[in-house]
Amino acid sequence: MPQGRHFLQIPGPSPVPDRVLRAMDMPVIDHRSSEFAELGKTVFDGCQKIFKTNGPVIIFPSSGTGAWEAAIVNTLSPGDKVLMVETGHFATLWRQMAARWGIEVDFIPGDWRHGADPADIEARLVQDEKRAIKAVMVVHNETSTGVTSRVGEIRAAMDRAGHQALLLVDTISSLGSVDYRHDEWKVDVTVSCSQKGFMLPPGLGFNAVSEKARAAAKINKMPRSYWDWDEMLKPNAAGFFPYTPATNLLYGLREAIAMLLEEGLDAVFARHKRLAAATRAAITHWGLEVLCLEPAEYSPVLTAVLMPPGHDADKFRKTVLDTYNMSLGSGLSKLAGKVFRIGHLGECNELTLIGALSGVEMGLSAAGVPHRAGGVEAAMKSLEERPQSNSPAHLKVVKPDRVADHRDG
């Protein structure tokens, strides 16, 4: 048996913090009770803070794929046309789902090394003189490639085009880890799930919805039952659900939201960017190549690494798992065997990352992958140049003998 804890360095599910595990270790309660209503109201309110919205956040007992489906069936009708961008494996899966529901997809081709180009989207919308495109659907952080699309710029491009299409965004691997602003960016449906930035086990899917999206849901012609927003929102107003909810996951969600808000969302986002930069410093020093080609689109939550020619990423990952008890993310679909992915999201901190990168560097040696030693030291130097105090974010030393309390919001 391997000794020590397993290093789960895939880009989700992310490791579940002990604090969240303890919060879920509770008896199941009556989901029609006043006690449950308080839990429901607390998590609905907390989710609004994480999504940065004043509108409703609907929580389904589901995977992120279920939340994708809910976004489609509540806003679109069979035969509608949507605009999507080939940013990677998950954008392709979302396209396939839309097609199964009878949606016509205009799919902008991509190389899986760049995010969605706002200029391309603007050009397609300008050309759509008959306003046939009913929605623009974008993956914020493409988990298969480590590339983040610039949603704020995409919204600005849509506004310049003067197009009224809905904006649907997948934040499954970015929410709670990467700066995201549902209301400010005028997103109509934000899709997410529990097992990434929320640091929970899989099992909860989320839709944050705008008034424009709710209006579309009242007139669209797609059949739905389980995923119906209106059926969820009616009991949600009092803290309840129309069917049996995932009670113990909601206990964990309440605790995870508390952890994110205690650290402060801006501090959470800065931590992820700092860890990502250190990871890229190690990769560059090793002489390997980051899959993402645009620095402005580097993902803060994971980094996909190209293997040198003649070396199989899956064999390397197996060596790392068998030798050092660490799981790395695999390459998906057309990237299978070509890349491995290092997750650095959720509860990950500096020491966790250095341990993970040490496992990668030792694994490169054990697997006979050509590289230059010293990548871990390069990552350490990167972290030293971007220091972070582990003191509470609201404390600031102003004199040697006095600490002032500066609460952020």
Where are any strands of DSSP class E within 172-232? 189-193, 204-209
Tokens of 288: 């390997």
Rounded Cα distance, 47 and 206, in Å: 9
In sequence order, what are the beta bridge partners of 60? Answer: 205
Please choose, from the candidates 119, 126, 91, 115, the residue with its C-alpha nearest in 3D space to the C-alpha of residue 105: 91
pLDDT at 3: 83
What does the pLDDT read at residue 391?
44
> Closest by alpha carbon to 80, among 127, 130, 134, 131?
134
DSSP state of 295: G
Please state, in angstroms and rounded to a whole number, the distance separating the CA atoms of residues 39 and 267: 26
**Cα gap 189→192, rounded to integer Å:** 10
Give the phi and the psi of residue 88 in degrees, each rounded to 5: 165, -165
Is the Cβ–Cβ distance between 136 and 106 less than 8 Å?
A: no
> What is the pTM (predicted TM-score) of this model?
0.93
Fold (topology level) of 18-261: Aspartate Aminotransferase; domain 2 (3.40.640)
Per the DSSP assignment, residues forming a β-bridge with 271 are none
Q: The domain 7-13+264-385 is classified under which CATH number: 3.40.50.2300, 3.40.50.300, 3.30.1340.10, 3.90.1150.10?
A: 3.90.1150.10
Backbone angles phi, psi at 335, to 5 degrees: -100, 5
- Taking only the tens place, the pLDDT of each residue in 150-200 is 999 999 999 999 999 999 999 999 999 999 999 999 999 999 999 999 999
Domain positions in the chain are: 7-13+264-385, 18-261
Residue 286 Cα distances to 54, 151, 357, 382, angstroms: 45, 32, 11, 14
With a CB cutoff of 8 Å and minimum separation 6, the contacts of 244 are 31, 61
Instruction: Please state whether beta strands 189-193 and 166-170 pair in parallel, antiparallel, or not at all (unpaired).
Output: parallel
State the Cα angle at 342 between 254 and 354, rounded to 5°.
90
In order along its 409 residues, the chain shows pLDDT tens digits of 778 899 999 999 999 999 999 999 999 999 999 999 999 999 999 999 999 999 999 999 999 999 999 999 999 999 999 999 999 999 999 999 999 999 999 999 999 999 999 999 999 999 999 999 999 999 999 999 999 999 999 999 999 999 999 999 999 999 999 999 999 999 999 999 999 999 999 999 999 999 999 999 999 999 999 999 999 999 999 999 999 999 999 999 999 999 999 999 999 999 999 999 999 999 999 999 999 999 999 999 999 999 999 999 999 999 999 999 999 999 999 999 999 999 999 999 999 999 999 999 999 999 999 999 999 999 999 999 987 755 444 333 333 232 233 323 3
Tell me how far CA of residue 363 lies from CA of 165, 317, 326, 368, 373, in angstroms. 48, 8, 10, 8, 12
What the block records as the tokens of 390 is: 């582990």
User: Alpha helices of 220-264 — where are they, by DSSP H?
Assistant: 229-236, 247-263
How many H helices and E strands in the chain? 13, 16
What is the residue whose two structure tokens read 């008034």? 211
Q: Answer positive or negative: Cα dihedral of 12, 14, 20, 24.
A: positive
Q: Length of the chain, please?
A: 409
Do residues 247 and 31 lie in contact, with contact meaning Cβ atoms separated by under 8 Å?
yes
Q: Which ranges of 52-117 does DSSP label H, i.e. alpha helix?
A: 64-75, 89-100
Beta strands in 258-362 (DSSP E): 289-290, 302-306, 326-328, 339-343
